[in-house]
Structure 1
């Protein structure tokens, strides 16, 4: 059965496939990540990237996205 990925999912997969980011975030990209799954991830890097993409898709302002991601990372790290 074929899986349908949204544009946001495809962007997420492309970003998470970056070798340096995956080393920094200590994760192994699978190529099947979705925004929904990533927003529930325990990994701060994966979740922060998903928050940025999701905020952009939902037409949040840059300031709203920045505040959301910044507050999350301060709390998580």
Structure 2
């Protein structure tokens, strides 16, 4: 059965496929990532990217996104 990806899922997959981001975020992109899975990820990079892409629903405040990005940057210093 074919998986149906939303436009948000496709954008997420394209962003996460960046080799430099994957190296910094310490993850291996699979190409099967979805927004729902990424929002529940323990990896701060994946979660932050998903929060930014999913922002059209306005369920995340700028502070929440900033916190995720800050945690990523702090863990990679």
TM-score (norm. length: structure 1)? 0.82
- Cα offset, 1:73, TM superposition: 4.0
Aligned equivalents of 2:15, 2:62: Cα separation in 1: 18
Task: Map Cα deviations across residues 20-77 of structure 1 (whole Å, 9 max, x no partner).
Answer: 0000001000000000000010100000000000113x1x3xxx65322113344675
Please say if residues 51 and 65 of structure 1, whose CA atoms lie closer than 8 Å, have aligned partners that are also in contact.
no
The list of structure 1 runs, each at least 4 consecutive aligned residues, that deviate by more than 3 angstroms after superposition, is: 72-77
Q: Which residue pairs with 1:45 in the alignment?
A: 45
Equivalent pairs counted in the alignment come to 72
> Which runs of no fewer than 5 residues in structure 2 stay unpaired?
none
TM-score (norm. length: structure 2)? 0.82
